[in-house]
Every structure is written in C-alpha cells, then in structure tokens.
Chain A
Amino acid sequence: MSADFVFEVDNLEKNFGGLAVTRNVTLAMRPGDRVALIGPNGAGKTTFVNLVTGHLKPDSGKVRLGGNDVTHFKPTQRVHHGLVRSFQVTRLFLDMTPEEHIALAILQRSGKSGRMAGNYISHPGMLFEVDELLSTLGLTAMRHMKVREIAYGQQRLLEIALAMALRPKVLLLDEPAAGVPQSDTGRIEEALSKLPGDLAVLMIEHDMDLVFRFAKRVIVLAAGEIIFDGSPTDVTRDPRVREAYLGSYGHDRNVA
C-alpha cells in the first residue's frame, strides 16, 4: 500500500468459539506517530496486541510492517522487522543488571547474541551505546545493581530502555505507567518524550491524563471494534465513546 505507512492493520478479525473479540479492525501509522489505544475493560485490547505481535493467529485480515506482509510471521520474526512491544507487568531478568539487559538487547539486535566466546564488554561501541541509553533514562547510578534490587518505577524505565535498545520502527507500549506510584509517572512521561522522533508509537493506556499529554491521535476500541479514531480533543465529545465508557449511565442501551 502507501509506502509511507510503517505499520498497517487491515480488516483484522478474531473469534473465540463464536465470540467475536476483534472485529474488522483497520488502522495505519506513519513514522513519528504518537497514537494512544484506549477502551473499556474487555474491549479486546490484549487480543489486539497478541494478534499484532503474532502470539495469536487472526481468522482473517493482514498485518504489515514497512509494507511487508507479516501476517504469517512468527513473533520473533516480527521483532526482526521492527515491531517491539513492552509489557504491562514488568518482565525483566531479576538476577541480571540493567547494563546486562541493555547489552543483551543490543547484541540481539545486531545478531550477535548467539556468540559463544568473548564478553559483551569487549564488543566495540557496546559500552558507549549502553551508557547513552542508561543516562537518557536516568538509570546510570544503578547499572550494576541486580534488577530485583531496584525500585519498580526504575524497572519500568528499564523496560522502555530495553525496547529502545532494539531500535524498533514500531513500538507497542502496554500501559507503561501501570503500577508506578504517582510521584514517579513524571519520569516515565519524560522518558516517553525522549523516544526517537521517527519512531511510531502505539500506547495502550488507562490513565487519560497521560493519554492526552502524549498522544496526537486516539483510537478507541470497544467490543472488539474501533469506534473512534481521531484527535484527543474530539474523543471525549464523541457520543459512541461516551456510550462505550459510560454505558447505561449515559443511555438506556447497554453496550458491553
């Protein structure tokens, strides 16, 4: 399709035993886009993420990365094509240090994680890149501590650093501020604002303040369908969005 879309989803459909959890979902993103995906509980956000990352097979529809059809690619192949995700609940290696995390991601990106000799420190340019990423996210002070010993807010930052170290073209952020104390969300937001300008970011988030500050475009998913795709200023005024969120409070009809 159009060459300037880096990420496209076409008519994605998924049923679980007759129950449609993803219905005719279509969206496209350009490099540098900042999109928030929101929706009430049970809207099918998790299913959508799994369809995009390749952990679930869609019944029909296509997923394209940089113009290549990746619908039948395995999750790891999609990562190689530039689609990287972060996790809602931190998934890190508790007995390894932040430095080792970043180094492993860089080695993986450059196809050297299978090397059986030498040490990551001896790889040229490695320490420089690790330093840069850790300092961007303010993690330099704890670079040699085990991850289990650092605060949860810092683990969330490391999660973002890890995604960035893979140099994605498209980044799926699954609730980057989930579980972080209010006092630390500012640092997460700061980290998000430093993401590369040409990176397309799709953020799934519940915190509406964060959504409004971060996103230039908001997509609302309800009952497996996209019911809104537009600017943050319009989203709260949209009647279907109000209905999906406020349900029977706003209207008599109940939208699941």
Chain B
Amino acid sequence: MQTVFSIAIDALAYGMVLFVISIGLSVTMGLMRVVNLAHGAFAMIGGYIASYAVRDLGLAYGFAVLLAVFATIIIAIPVERLLYRRIYGAPELTQVLMTIGITFCVIGIANYVFGPTLKTIPLPEHLRGPIDLGFRSIAAHKLFAIGCGAAVALGLWYLIERTSFGVKLRASVDNASMAAALGVRTQVVYAASFAIAVGLAAFGGVVGAELLPIEPYYALRYMVTFLVVVSVGGAGSIPGALLACLLLGGIDTTGRYLMPEYGEFFFYLAVIVIVSFFPRGLLGKAN
C-alpha cells in the first residue's frame, strides 16, 4: 500500500512537471507545425538562470522563478526571429536539423558559461522537508510541483477558453489562413504563444529541477521525452497533453520502482503502441 502511494505521488509529480514543460511545445506545434526539439533547451536555460539567481545573487526563490521565466523569454525572442521564422512550413527533416542544431549550441554554451557540473536550485525553507498529510508524509517540493502543474493547467484553460486571446489562438490553430482572413493578426498570436511556451518551459525547468536535474546535457536527455509527450497527447490539445503526461509519468515511474533494470523500456514500448494506433495522438485533431 505504501509503495502504491509513493508511486502514485511520484508519478503525479513527474507527470505534472512534464506537463508544465511540454504544454507550451504542444500549443506551438499545433499552431505553427514546427517539430521543435530545442524546447527542453529553454527549460534548461530557465533552470540555470534560477540557480544562478538563488545561489550567486542570493535572490529569494519566488523572485528567482520570475527572473528565470522573463530572462528566458528575452533570450528566446531573437532566436525565434532569426532562426525559427525560417523553418515555419518547412519539411520536418529541416525543422529537426535546425532545432537539434540550436539544442547543441545551447548545450555547448551552457557548459562554457556554467561548467559541466550539476546545478541545484536551493529550495526555500518551507518547501524542503516533508509535509504531514495525517496518514502519510510527502516531500513538500513534490506537492509544490503538483500544485504548479494544476495551476498551469487551470490558468491555460482560463486563457484559452475565456479570453479573447484564447479565441484568436484557437481560431489560428484550427485554420490559420481563415483566422487571418477574419482579421486575426496571426503573426502576433504566433509570437505571443511562442513567448508563453518558452516561459512555461522555463517555469517547468525551475520547479521540476528536483526531479529533472539541471546540467548541460539536460536539453539532449529530455529532448525526446517532451516531443514524445506532445505526440502521444496530440499536438495542440491541452487535455491530450495532460492525459499523456499522467499516463507516461505513471508508466515511467511504475517501471522504475518495480523493474528498475528495464530502464525506460516500458515507457518507449507504451509510446510505440499508442502512437502506432493513434498517429495523431490520443486527443489530436482528426486531420
């Protein structure tokens, strides 16, 4: 019983971190149809900035998170302008190569600036120890990660379903040329969603740093994980991404607890089975 509970909490925390990082990728891929393998690099940049802010500048954790999110967005803007704009609508192979190139560059630069060692982001006092739930106690940072995931899901739901930006975004995802003909400035929608996506990646990189530790190969190690989540959930679908994260987080965590010697075997087996039968993802659009 205790194991089941531990697995469930770990799976939930891991799944939520995956969700926070991947959801931006899912939205931008549904919108701009770019296979973006560099998304994890932005999460990593966020993690590095937060680590630097807390450890070297002595900022409070909350400020460090904000700084990481905004600084990552500022770094991403010229990258989007100069590089991503060239590959919108290009064949997948081109997009893969360009974004792998960006990832490699970010890894090399991160190592040059921060060194090859693992960087921690010290948590504030109240997030450190365990929290007593009465019948069990859980590590506070896991609960925090789960809360962040839930908050992001709710916030995005509100943004997309209840605001005028959301209407424009949904219209552009469904049919960009029609949305443009109706007067939606799709370029602005693209740029705003890209910024939100990068910001969320950075946020996820910071709050998930205890589970996905920050080091230069982060961008390469999880590059595939994020892409897989989007593909399994269906590009552009928020419920799909949430479902995929919880499902894959559950499979991965269970596998690690019960059959650690198999590594990620079951994770990728599940991916193959799901994607083979749902090539557009679990909740992807039919077309």
Direct contact of A and B (CB under 8 A): no
